[in-house]
Structure 1
Amino acid sequence: MKVWGLTFVPHLVPMIRGMQATLYVDLLDANTEVQSVFAKTYKNEHFITVLDVGVTPETRSVKGSNFCQIAVQKAPDSNKLIVIAVIDNLVKGASGQAIQNMNLMFGLDERLGLEQIGLTL
């Protein structure tokens, strides 16, 4: 079994909805092309968007949706990977997640009932 380290930091800021989390991971191989690993892993996941290098996810971009935006960046001159993810905690983090899981459990399209915008943006 490989041993690895992970630091998870949720950020609490004064806003009505949304959550940003930052994860710090010690890479076993500093030469790993992490952007392509994330892009390949999530390319067929409808509700997950891996952002281009240098783009920072924003909670306002996922407000009222079941989407998760992810950005990855290697820390300069280290083997530390920084992953930033944002969701609407009232949709993806709660009711939307429940609907998506129910759809999967019943063999339905996971997007069913989750692509409508439920609030005024």
Structure 2
Amino acid sequence: MTIFYSNAIRGFYPAAMRADYEQAGTWAADAVEVTPEDEAMLREAITAGAAIRKKSGGKWAITAPPPPPFAVLAAPILASARQARDAILKSAVGSVVGNVVGGITSKYGGVVSEMKDKIGGGISGAIGSAADKFK
């Protein structure tokens, strides 16, 4: 089966359907006949995202695809660093809060217990009630 390739479309056209493509106005102006070997090579290049051009003399020039942008390469590394940072911060904040609450509890145990009981009814009521104890 004869196959044509269009570099502008980056697609293949079977010769048997040329009349249908032309009638529909979709036959590529740059379509050239390719061998089965060239078709396989071009399909592989298209899949890899390589640049394709036809050189003088009928040979194909295929260049490697451009490297991915830095942001794409850095994303997994940055995500891992953010996870580590967040875990460290969460751990540090947890121990600081635990120490602060522990110190407050030992000094103002009754007031803290009362605040914990009232938080179920709303934090503003608990804070107002606790603030009244210090007046």
Is the TM-score greater than 0.5? no
Which has a greater percent of strand? 1
Q: TM-score, normalised by structure 1?
A: 0.26
Q: TM-score, normalised by structure 2?
A: 0.24
Q: Which has the greater radius of gyration? A: 2
